[in-house]
Amino acid sequence: MIRIRKSDLKTENLGKCDDQLALVSKDKLFFCTNTNKVYYTDLEMNNGVEIIKEGRETVCDLKLYGDDELFYIVVPQSGENLIFNGRKLYKINIKTKENMLLTENLSEYYLTNNYVYYQPYSNEETGAFRIDEQTGEKTPIIIHLSGEIFRCDHNGENKELVFKSNTVYFSQMIVENNYIFGGTIIFDRENTKLLDIHKLICLDIHNKEWWYIENK
């Protein structure tokens, strides 16, 4: 693994590492192994400490809040019917190893100083189809976002519905102050077709109004 110093761009070889570097903090390097174990080291890649034991379910999307709170996603294996029903969001204290399940059936989440914003996962069949212009082949459109945005405290308490719609779907959320930004899918249920895919959108959390962000 190579480290580059920002001040003068000099490089330093920290040694061989076969694991994936998942997160860097001010004094720690966090790694995921191919057996889904998570551990951290100091910035010299020494003094490793295991925080999540190896397992069959994939661990990903690590986010560190403060010095101790590590949020991470677990991707469950599909059930016997091979239907995927979303991911699980956990928080672990890296000092005490206390582990907490915050929510299941998750699509995505965003961490702020006060809240965890998240969207449930959905396997909704819309009744609409994408049609290949060359072959005419129809592909059913399935939306994996529920149209709901929730938030809760970092400990999972005080769950609150922030936004709900069956026509507007946010994706890749970014939360800044009282606003949620993201890409969007607008679904015309009356005519069972998709509109305005991947436009930028902004939601005012307080008054629930949303609008497009237009490029000028």
Residue type, 115: Y
Dihedral sign for Cα atoms in the order 25, 28, 33, 39: negative
Average pLDDT for residues 194-212, to the nearest whole number? 81
How far lies 209's CA from each of 95, 168, 188, in Å? 41, 12, 19
CB-based contact 57:36 (threshold 8 Å): yes
Helix (H, G, I), strand (E, B) or coil at 34: coil
Domains of the chain: 57-212 (2.40.128)
Do 199 and 212 meet the contact criterion of CB atoms below 8 Å apart? Answer: yes
pLDDT at 191: 57
Q: Is 178 exposed, middle or buried (0-12, 13-18, 19+ CB in 10 A)?
A: exposed
The dihedrals phi and psi of 9, each to the nearest 5 degrees, come to 65, 20
State the pTM of this model.
0.81
Terminal-to-terminal C-alpha distance of the chain: 42
The pLDDT tens digits for 120-157 are 987 766 666 667 778 878 777 777 777 899 999 999 99
pLDDT digits (tens, 9 = 90+) for 53-99: 998 888 999 999 998 999 999 987 665 555 667 889 999 999 999 99
